[in-house]
Amino acid sequence: MNRNGRHNVTFKKVVFYCWPVAALLLSYFTLLNNHSLSDEEGRQLSKGFTFKSTELDNDIEPKRTIRAVNQAIEHISGWISSVGSATALYDLNDDGLSNDLCLVDPRTDSIEIRSLHGKYDSFYLGYPQNSKNSIAPMGCLPGDFNEDGNGDVIVYFWGRSPLIFFQSPGASTISAADFFPVDLVSPTEAWYTNAATQADFNGDGHIDLIFGNYFPEDSAILDATSYVSEVMQHSMSRAGNAGMNRIFLYDNKHSRAPFRDVSSLFPDQWRNGWTLAIGAADLDGDLLPEIYIANDFGPDKLLHNISDGKRMAFRLVEAEYSVLVPRSHRLGHDSFKGMGVDFSDLNNDGILDIYVSNISQVYALRESHFAFVSTGDASAFKRGIAPYVNRSEDMGVGLSAWSWDAKFADFNNDGKVEIVQGTGFLKGEVDRWPQLHELATGNDDLLRHAQVWPEFGKGDDLSGHVKNAFYALAGDGRYYDISTTMDMEVEPLVTRAISIADIDGDGDLDFVAGNQWQPSVLYENQLVDNNKSLQLSLKIPVASTPQMASFLAKSTTSLPKSRPAIGATAKLVNESRIDFVDGGNGHSGVNSPDIHFGLGHVAEFRRIPVEIRWIDLSGKKRRQTFDLLPGRHTIYLI
Q: How confident is the model over 226-263, as pLDDT tens digits?
A: 999 889 999 999 999 999 999 999 998 866 899 999 99
Q: Are residues 473 and 568 in the same domain?
A: no
Which tens digits make up the pLDDT trace of 448-489? 999 999 999 999 999 999 999 999 999 999 999 999 888 776
Q: What pLDDT is recorded for position 528?
A: 84
Q: How far is CA 291 from the centre of its chain?
A: 12
The C-alpha atoms of residue 623 and residue 568 are separated, in whole angstroms, by 10
- Work out the percent of the chain whose per-residue pLDDT is above 90: 78
Q: What pLDDT is recorded for position 441?
A: 86
Which tens digits make up the pLDDT trace of 74-91? 999 999 999 999 999 999
Number of domains in the chain: 2
| Residue 483 is assigned to a structural domain of this protein | yes
pTM, two decimals, is 0.93
SS (H, E, C) 156-177: EEECCCCEEEEECCCCCCCCHH
Q: Are residues 504 and 556 in the same domain?
A: no
The C-alpha atoms of residue 135 and residue 145 are separated, in whole angstroms, by 24
Q: Are residues 255 and 143 in the same domain?
A: yes
Q: Are residues 387 and 488 in the same domain?
A: yes
Of the candidates 345, 277, 298, 333, which has an alpha carbon nearest to the alpha carbon of residue 571?
345
User: Is residue 459 exposed (0-12), middle (13-18) or buried (19+ Cβ within 10 Å)?
Assistant: middle
Q: What pLDDT is recorded for position 365?
A: 85
Q: What pLDDT is recorded for position 546?
A: 55
| Residue 50 is assigned to a structural domain of this protein | no
Q: Are strands 532-541 and 595-600 parallel, antiparallel or unpaired?
A: antiparallel
Amino acid at 407: K
Q: Are residues 256 and 339 in the same domain?
A: yes
Q: Are residues 536 and 519 in the same domain?
A: no
| Residue 459 is assigned to a structural domain of this protein | yes
CATH number of the domain encompassing residue 424: 2.130.10.10
| Residue 49 is assigned to a structural domain of this protein | no
| Residue 3 is assigned to a structural domain of this protein | no
From residue 464, alpha-carbon distances to 15, 106, 436 in Å are 47, 17, 14
Helix or strand run (H / E) with residue 580: strand 577-580
Q: Are residues 520 and 537 in the same domain?
A: no
Q: Are residues 114 and 138 in the same domain?
A: yes
Q: What pLDDT is recorded for position 15?
A: 45
Domain boundary among the residues 510, 525, 540 is at 525
Residue 420 contacts residue 451 (beta carbons within 8 Å): no
Q: What pLDDT is recorded for position 620?
A: 94
Domain that holds residue 551: 532-636
Of the candidates 332, 279, 331, 282, which has an alpha carbon nearest to the alpha carbon of residue 307?
282
Q: How far is CA 307 from the centre of its chain?
A: 23
Domain boundary among the residues 525, 555, 577 is at 525
Q: How far is CA 59 from the centre of its chain?
A: 28
Q: Are residues 463 and 339 in the same domain?
A: yes
Mean pLDDT for 390-402 is 96
Q: Are residues 595 and 518 in the same domain?
A: no
Q: Are residues 507 and 558 in the same domain?
A: no
The C-alpha atoms of residue 595 and residue 579 are separated, in whole angstroms, by 7
Domain boundary among the residues 486, 506, 525 is at 525
| Residue 38 is assigned to a structural domain of this protein | no
Q: Are residues 554 and 466 in the same domain?
A: no
Q: What pLDDT is recorded for position 484?
A: 87
| Residue 448 is assigned to a structural domain of this protein | yes
Residue 248 contacts residue 266 (beta carbons within 8 Å): no
Q: What pLDDT is recorded for position 24?
A: 47
Which tens digits make up the pLDDT trace of 10-19? 544 444 445 5
Residue 391 contacts residue 319 (beta carbons within 8 Å): no
Q: What pLDDT is recorded for position 11?
A: 45
How many of the other CB atoms lie within 10 Å of CB of 32?
Answer: 6
Residue 114 contacts residue 122 (beta carbons within 8 Å): yes
Which tens digits make up the pLDDT trace of 493-525? 999 999 999 999 999 999 999 999 999 999 999
Which tens digits make up the pLDDT trace of 273-331? 999 999 999 999 999 999 999 999 999 999 999 998 778 999 999 999 989 899 999 99
| Residue 225 is assigned to a structural domain of this protein | yes
Q: What is the band of 545 on the pLDDT scale with cuts at 50, 70, 90?
A: low
The C-alpha atoms of residue 149 and residue 166 are separated, in whole angstroms, by 11
Q: Give just the sign of the alpha carbon dihedral 587, 74, 68, 244.
A: positive
- Tell whether the model's pLDDT for residue 141 goes beyond 80: yes
- Tell whether the model's pLDDT for residue 549 goes beyond 90: no
